[in-house]
Structures are given as C-alpha cells and as structure tokens.
Amino acid sequence: MPMTGSRIKVRLPDVDIPLIVPISMHRFTEYFKGFEKVAAVREIFGEETDQVLAELKVEFFSSKFGYMGVSDEDGHLIVSAYYLRDGDPSSKYLDVVHELVHVRQFREGKPLFDEAYEYHERPTELEAYHQAVKEARRLGMSDSEIYEYLRVDWMTDDEVRKLARNLGVTPPKQPHTERVR
Ligand SMILES: [Zn+2]
C-alpha cells in the first residue's frame, strides 16, 4: 500500500513495527505491538479489537514490489520485508491502519478487490483510506503531507488527485510531475 517519497516526521503512537523479519507466517501481535491500544484501531474493530488482532496472521514476503495487503482468501495481512526495512515510519504505520480496515471488511464478507471499480474509486479502498487519513490528521499531518502519503506508484497523478478529493484532502495547486521510483 501507499509509500511516500518524502520523509514525514510525526509523533507516532507507542507501537512497534518490525524492521527485520523472517519470510514466513506469524501471529500479527508477535511482530506488531501495541496496535490494540491505538484508538484508530479500536475504532475499526470495537469490542472485538483484542480478539481480532490476537487471531490475525501476518505473512512477510521478500518481493521488492508491493507494500502491504490483505489476502482475499483468508483475510491475513501480507507485508513486504523490503517495505518494513526501507519504508517511511509514518507511512508504514498508516498502512497498517489502512490494512486493518481491509481485515474488518474481509470479516464482514465484503469483496476486497471488486474489479467493477478502479482502485482509486473502490468503496473498500475509500473506507480504508478514510480511516488512515483521519489518523494522519490526528497525528498532525498537513493536507500536503497526507497528499504525499497518498501518492503511490500504481496510481497516476490524476487518480491520486481524484482519490484525495474523495477523501477531503486538498491537493496541492501545482500538479506534481510523474516520478520514477
Ligand atoms: Zn487498500
């Protein structure tokens, strides 16, 4: 999921996100600590928060491509070991919040990858981004910082602007030029 090009400095909640991980399946709580105490996460799962996180599995993979996702087969979290090592801390944190929304959606029986919609307009994505953006605002990130967070290499600038508008994030006045990463 999203990865920013710039380094954004914000004070994150007291959570641990691993840097170096084995390429295998684990309990989420073995590697991602403290998320059950995060208000944004409790908002996602409500009273089921502790139980869902205790049951959640995380699979680390070693491809340089991709960041984080949720399996639409069994709802487990999938995370790139490269992204954990090299990604921006606030982006990784917000991505976990985003993906946990997908975990809930899977549990609710919603299709995670509904091909009837483009990525930037898919209702499940908008809901996940909405929660991440709300958390980014709570952390004190500005609209331009959030916009940077939204920019990812699988969306065109035009799509990112549409997504941002749908999320109530004000795009910068000057369109960004395409970047290669
Ligand atoms: Zn998503």
176 C-alpha to ligand 1 centroid (Å): 23
Mean pLDDT of 139-162: 94
149 C-alpha to ligand 1 centroid (Å): 13
Mean pLDDT of 35-42: 97
How are strands ordered across the β-sheet holding 77-80? 25-27, 57-61, 77-80, 68-70
Q: Distance between CA 110 and CA 88 in Å, rounded?
A: 29
Mean pLDDT of 80-97: 95
Please give the model's pTM, rounded to 2 decimal places. Answer: 0.85
- Share above pLDDT 90 across residues of the chain, in percent, rounded to a whole number: 75
173 C-alpha to ligand 1 centroid (Å): 26
Cα separations in angstroms, 73 against 27, 61, 67, 79, 109:
17, 16, 18, 15, 11
86 C-alpha to ligand 1 centroid (Å): 20
Q: Summarize pLDDT for 52-88 with one digit per residue, the tens.
A: 999 999 999 987 777 999 999 999 999 999 999 999 9
128 C-alpha to ligand 1 centroid (Å): 6
Sign of CA pseudo-dihedral 159, 79, 56, 96: negative
Sign of CA pseudo-dihedral 1, 12, 30, 75: negative
Contact 137, 131 (CB under 8 A): no
**Residue 58 phi, psi (nearest 5):** -125, 135
Residues with CB under 5 A from ligand 1 (ion): 125, 128
Mean pLDDT of 40-58: 98
Contact 24, 60 (CB under 8 A): yes
98 C-alpha to ligand 1 centroid (Å): 6
10 C-alpha to ligand 1 centroid (Å): 22
78 C-alpha to ligand 1 centroid (Å): 12
